Amino acid sequence: MNRMSPQAHVTQTERPLHATATKVWIGVGAFWVALFAYCMIAWVTGPDFRPNTFGHSSAPASYVLFLRGLEVAMLALTAWILWRFILGPLVRDRRFSFEGLYFLACFTMVVQEPWHSWVRPQLLYNDLFFNMGSWMGTLPVSNPTAHLTPLPLAFAGLGYFWIYGLPAYAGAKIMDRINRPRPGRNRPRFSPLQIIAIGFAGFCVFDLVIESFILRTGMFVYPSTIPALTLFAGTAHQFPLYEMVAWAGTYTFAASLLHFRDARGETVADRHVDMIAPPGKRRTLARWLALVGFLQTGILVTYNLPYMFWALHGGPFTISEAEKPWLTAGMCGPSTAYDCPGPGVPFARRDSATNRIPQELSK
């Protein structure tokens, strides 16, 4: 990683300040872990823990087989990450590696995965993937059908290991490589802002490529976007540019955490954790909580909060229940009590019986 030189030191005044910041991140992380545990337990033990299979009977068999193949590949990649970064080092060294703590912290971020539809449906998962609904019904969301969100477990669930954690980890490695000091110089090639900008640009390209594949294959879709800020607007595979910016920001947040480690291998989140917790399991737990707090804050600020704003300005739905019911998943459409979002369509709230305008009033 981008370590400080051996001569770099921290003053006695700075150490307590860094430790205080770490305490804050640990506290933030503890909150998110508690929320994660609550959502998962309430979901699994509640009435929403059941598969959403809306429209399965009309799906082409070849397409379902294609998605099953993708799920197998996703599970295999998850298993590799678990062994390579978490279980392997734990068996070998009898302790979690920093990378293992990082990937486990990334996984907790799944609790925020369906929050993009907190206000109204913004991203529709393909319910042909294996799913057990989602935990959105355990939260005070505005969207009255959010509890029907068919979160794909192998894709969007375990995906925080491989579609988020792994690219950010690889991005940090690339940032390390291109920012190595030139021969004869101790300073990195780029300033912190420059290397962050380079990382962000790279993640924009990466996100555009990977989401193009996802959208073209219907793994999920963005059915209601702001047309002026959308590529291929009006099509089933439309892609909002603010999605690319937001997700690249989330990647950059994590990659920067990994890249800007000091000579001790500590990040801005867990710096001087030795002043807070004794060696052993307590220090490992404290470090993990700090990483959780930092990463959870990152996705909330760079992705979910902006998406709740974009949801207020979305254009007409580009996915119909009649053509691809496995994408609408019963969240809105003619067979439900709710019209899909779009201009002129009232916002439904959690206590709304419907958002449908009576015909006599719509004339």
* pLDDT, the chain, mean: 93
How many Å apart are CA 133 and CA 146, to the nearest integer? 9
Whether 302 has a pLDDT exceeding 70, the answer reads yes
The mean per-residue pLDDT over the stretch 247-266 comes to: 95
**4 within some domain:** no
**313 within some domain:** yes
Whether 93 has a pLDDT exceeding 60, the answer reads yes
Whether 3 has a pLDDT exceeding 80, the answer reads no
**9 within some domain:** no
- 202 Cβ contact partners less than 8 Å away, ≥ 6 residues apart: 171, 174
Q: How many CA atoms lie within 13 A of 308 on its CB side?
A: 15
CA 346 to chain centre: 28
DSSP per-residue string spanning 174-210:
HHHHHTSPPTT--S-SS-HHHHHHHHHHHHHHHHHHH
How many Å apart are CA 70 and CA 79, to the nearest integer? 14
pLDDT greater at residue 155 or residue 186: 155
Whether 153 has a pLDDT exceeding 90, the answer reads yes
Q: What percent of the chain has pLDDT over 70?
A: 94
Helix (H) or strand (E) holding 98: helix 98-108
pLDDT for res 16: 74
The mean per-residue pLDDT over the stretch 239-262 comes to: 97
**256 within some domain:** yes
Q: What's the structural domain count of the chain?
A: 1
Phi, psi at residue 198, to the nearest 5°? Answer: -65, -45
Compute the C-alpha angle 66/69/73, nearest 5°. Answer: 140
- Using CB atoms within 10 A of its CB, is residue 187 exposed (0-12), middle (13-18) or buried (19+)? exposed
pLDDT for res 183: 76
Tens-digit pLDDT profile for residues 94-141: 999 999 999 999 999 999 999 999 999 999 999 999 999 999 999 999
**10 within some domain:** no
**Domain residues for 229?**
15-362
Q: 343: alpha, beta or left, given left = phi > 0 and alpha = psi -120 to 50?
A: beta
Q: What percent of the chain has pLDDT over 90?
A: 83
pLDDT for res 8: 44
| 240, amino acid identity | P
Predicted confidence band of residue 13 (pLDDT cuts 50, 70, 90): low
Q: Where are the beta strands (DSSP E) in the chain?
A: 124-125, 220-221, 230-231, 239-240
The mean per-residue pLDDT over the stretch 159-164 comes to: 97
**2 within some domain:** no
Phi, psi at residue 143, to the nearest 5°? Answer: -65, 115
The mean per-residue pLDDT over the stretch 228-248 comes to: 96
pLDDT for res 15: 66
Whether 11 has a pLDDT exceeding 60, the answer reads no
Please identify which residue in the block is written with the tokens 């990647």.
Answer: 251
The mean per-residue pLDDT over the stretch 170-195 comes to: 88
Label the pairing between strands 230-231 and 220-221.
unpaired
Give CA separation, 100 vs 11, 94, 265, in Å: 30, 12, 14
pLDDT for res 7: 37
- Asked whether the beta carbons of 251 and 164 are under 8 A apart, the reply is yes
Tens-digit pLDDT profile for residues 311-334: 889 999 999 999 999 999 999 999
**5 within some domain:** no
How many Å apart are CA 260 and CA 172, to the nearest integer? 9
pLDDT for res 357: 87
CA-closest candidate to residue 254, choices 213, 212, 303: 303
pLDDT for res 10: 52
How many Å apart are CA 150 and CA 125, to the nearest integer? 6
- Asked whether the beta carbons of 316 and 224 are under 8 A apart, the reply is yes
Tens-digit pLDDT profile for residues 42-80: 999 999 999 999 999 999 999 999 999 999 999 999 999
**109 within some domain:** yes
- Using CB atoms within 10 A of its CB, is residue 186 exposed (0-12), middle (13-18) or buried (19+)? exposed
The mean per-residue pLDDT over the stretch 336-350 comes to: 92
Predicted confidence band of residue 19 (pLDDT cuts 50, 70, 90): confident
DSSP per-residue string spanning 124-158:
EE-TTS-B---SGGGS--S-TTGGG---BIIIIIT
